[in-house]
Amino acid sequence: ALRTAELTPMMVQLVAAGRGVAALPNWALTEYLDLDLVRAVRLGEGEGVWRTLYAAVRDGDERVPFIQEFMDTARALCFSNLSGIRRAAG
């Protein structure tokens, strides 16, 4: 049977209860891994599966000060607080 869930805590609860598997980014699992609720394994061979996340803004808004500040803050906090991420090539 296939069951879909959109909320990370619900997915983790199903996996922790032995009711399935889930494919989630490593950074979303840190607290659950620390509590030994689930175990993480890589998908695929070698380094596993990597995806690039993008931020989109309307044309011209990339120079708006609060947008620039938001992007700088997001970049800094992501790389200082999330485990298992890396900068995109290019």
3-state SS record for 18-86: CCCCCCCCHHHHHHHHHCCCCCCCCCCCCCCCCCCCCCCCCCCHHHCHHHHHHHHHHHHHHHHHCCCCC
- 3 and 34 inside one domain: yes
Mean pLDDT of 61-67: 94
Query: Is the same domain home to 56 and 35?
Result: no
For residues 63 and 42, the answer to whether their CB atoms sit within 8 Å is no
State the residue range of the domain holding 70: 50-90
Looking at the fold, whether 55 and 89 belong to one and the same domain comes out as yes
Tally of domains in the chain: 2
| % of the chain beyond a pLDDT of 90 | 49
Residues 37 and 56 in one domain: no
Instruction: Summarize pLDDT for 10-33 with one digit per residue, the tens.
Output: 999 999 999 989 999 888 898 899
Q: Is the pLDDT of residue 83 over 90?
A: no
